[in-house]
Copies of this chain bind each other. A is one copy, B any other.
Amino acid sequence: MLSERRLEVLRAIVQDYVGTEEPVGSKALTERHRLGVSPATVRNDMAVLEDEGYIAQPHTSAGRIPTDKGYRLFVDKLAGVKPLSVPERRAIQNFLDGAVDLDDVVGRTVRLLAQLTRQVAVVQYPSLTRSTVRHVELLPLAPARIMLVLITDTGRVEQRLVDCPAPFGEASVADLRARLNSRVVGRRFADVPKLVQDLPDAFETDDRPTVQTVLSVLLEALVEESEERLMIGGTSNLTRFDHDFPLTIRPVLEALEEHVVLLKLLGEAKDPGVTVRIGHENPHEGLTSASVVSVGYGAGGPQNEALAKLGVVGPTRMDYPGTMGAVRAVARYVGQILAES
C-alpha cells in the first residue's frame, strides 16, 4: 500500500500535469505544493510510484506524467466530484428550459455539455426497450395504404407507410386502431408482440392479411425505435490537443462517427453514478488515449432507472473532478426537464 504522502504526491502530479500539460518534476512539485519535504524525498516517492506503474517518464530525465493506472487511482481515491458553481447551475437551467421538443432537449444538452467541459459531448436519445407505447395511430391515406404512427412515452414519434395486401375500409381501420390501442397503450415495447398476437382472429378472413401486415410493420417500428441513437457535439474541442496528439485526434474522430461503438461503450457503464473510463480501459482502439466520463439520466430521480446515457470524451489528461461534476449536473437537469414534459 502506498503511504499517505505518496498518494499526495500522485495527486499533485495529476493536478499539475492536467493544468500545465507538461511533465512535472520533483522541484516544481515541492514549489507548487506544500508537501513539507524536499525534492529529493519526492524523487524517491516518484521512483516508487513509477515502479508501481502509476506514473511514467516520457523520456529519461524528463518529468513524470500519470499513467492510466495513475489516473484511475486519482479518480477512485484522491479526487471527488467538483460541484458546479451557482451561476453555472443557473446557466444550465436557463439554457435547457427553452427546449421545445425532445430533439431540441438533446441538441441543447449536447451543446451545453460541450461548452461546459470544453470537450466532445455525447448524448444518447432517451429511448430504451423499457419505453412504453403512448399511442398508435392509423391513418387511411388510400384504400390500400395506411400510415402508422407510433408515439412513445419518451416523446418520440415513428411513422411507417403500410401497403395493404387488400383494400381496407375506414371502419375497419378505426376498429383496428381501437383494438390495438386498448391492448398496447402503456405497455412496454417488449411486451407488445404477444399482446397483439391473436388480434387478426377478431377480423374477417378477408381483412386478416392486412391486419397481419400492419402488425408486422408496427413490430418492426418498435424494434427500430428501441434502437439507440445519439447526438455528438463539440468536436472542435478536440483540436485543443492537436499540438500534443496530432495522431490521436484522427482515430478519436473516427470512433465518434461510429455511433454503434459509442452506444456500446455507453451501455457498458453500469455504475449508478458517474462512470469514468480511462485510456486503455476503453474497449475501442481509437479511444485508447481518451477518457470517457458518462452517467445515466432519466425522468425519475437520480436513483430511478436511467433512460439513457450522456457524457463527454476527452484526453486522458482531463480535469476529472470538474468534468464529472458537469456531467452529473447536466444529467440531473435534463432529467428534470424530461420529467416535466
The residues of A with any CB-CB pair to B shorter than 8 Å are 100-101, 134-135, 137, 139, 141, 147, 149, 151, 155, 157-161, 224, 233-236, 238-239, 242-243, 246, 249-250, 253-254, 256-257, 341
Contacts and interface: CB of A to CB of B under 8 A. Distances in A.
Given A135-B139, A149-B157, A159-B157, A236 B253 contact: yes
A100 B149 contact: no
27 contacts: A101-B158, A101-B159, A134-B141, A134-B147, A135-B139, A135-B141, A137-B139, A139-B151, A149-B149, A151-B159, A155-B159, A157-B157, A157-B158, A161-B341, A235-B253, A235-B256, A235-B257, A236-B250, A236-B254, A236-B256, A236-B257, A238-B253, A239-B249, A239-B250, A242-B246, A242-B249, A243-B246
Given A234-B257, A235-B257, A137 B149 contact: yes
Contacts of A149: 137, 149, 151, 157
Given A254-B236, A257-B235, A147 B159 contact: no
A339 to B, nearest CB: 14
A100 B159 CA distance: 11
**What are the 10 closest A-B residue pairs judged by CB atoms, nearest first?**
A236-B253, A239-B250, A236-B254, A157-B159, A157-B157, A135-B139, A137-B137, A235-B253, A149-B149, A236-B250
A135 B148 CA distance: 12
Contacts of A236: 250, 253-254, 256-257
In the complex this chain forms, how many copies of it are found? 2
Given A135-B141, A139-B137, A157-B149, A233 B246 contact: no
B242 A100 contact: no
Given A239-B250, A242-B249, A249-B242, A224 B151 contact: no
Contacts of A147: 134-135, 151
A93 to B, nearest CB: 21
A155 to B, nearest CB: 8
Contacts of A239: 249-250, 253
A234 B157 CA distance: 28
Given A151-B147, A151-B149, A257 B233 contact: yes
A236 B233 CA distance: 14
A135 B317 CA distance: 52
A183 B48 CA distance: 80
A100 B151 contact: no
A329 to B, nearest CB: 22
A151 B158 CA distance: 11
A100 B224 contact: yes
Nearest to A140: B135
Nearest to A233: B257
Nearest to A160: B101
Contacts of A137: 137, 139, 149
Contacts of A159: 101, 151, 155, 157
Contacts of A238: 253
Contacts of A161: 341
Given A239-B249, A242-B249, 12 more contacts: A100-B224, A134-B141, A137-B139, A137-B149, A149-B151, A149-B157, A155-B159, A157-B159, A235-B257, A236-B253, A239-B253, A246-B246
